[in-house]
Amino acid sequence: GAGVSQSPSNKVTEKGKDVELRCDPISGHTALYWYRQSLGQGLEFLIYFQGNSAPDKSGLPSDRFSAERTGGSVSTLTIQRTQQEDSAVYLCASSAGGTQYFGPGTRLTVL
């Protein structure tokens, strides 16, 4: 069956521009997570959606970062006024309540 998909796979942008990253979770998975992974580092939690509950935004590094999950399925992570330190791989995972399944990630490069 289809796994978690993310788009685009690569994104190059200029400092100060806004970017949107998309995640399509596994169908039926109620939980969706966003992580960030800088080069050579571990995963940094950003935000977590669970069903219709208010999202856990405790990992968002600044108010330039936001995320939505429409209809309990697709999620979009938005980074406004990008900075060079935002360059990283952004990973999405979905879960049916236990194990997380990860997408391939979006590599963001801010010039």
Partner 1 sequence: DAKTTQPPSMDCAEGRAANLPCNHSTISGNEYVYWYRQIHSQGPQYIIHGLKNNETNEMASLIITEDRKSSTLILPHATLRDTAVYYCIVRVKTNTGNQFYFGTGTSLTVIP
Residues making contact with partner 1 (CB under 8 A): 4, 31, 33, 35, 41-43, 45, 48, 50-51, 53-54, 56, 91, 93, 95, 97-105
Distance of closest approach, residue 45 Cβ to partner 1, in angstroms: 7
59 vs 76 by CB, closer to partner 1: 59
Count of CB atoms situated within 10 Å of the CB of 71: 5
Distance of closest approach, residue 16 Cβ to partner 1, in angstroms: 27
Q: Sign of the CA dihedral 38, 40, 43, 45?
A: negative
31 vs 74 by CB, closer to partner 1: 31
Q: Which two tokens stand for residue 8?
A: 């685009």
Q: Measuring CA to CA, how many Å separate 40 from each of 88, 91, 102?
A: 10, 14, 18
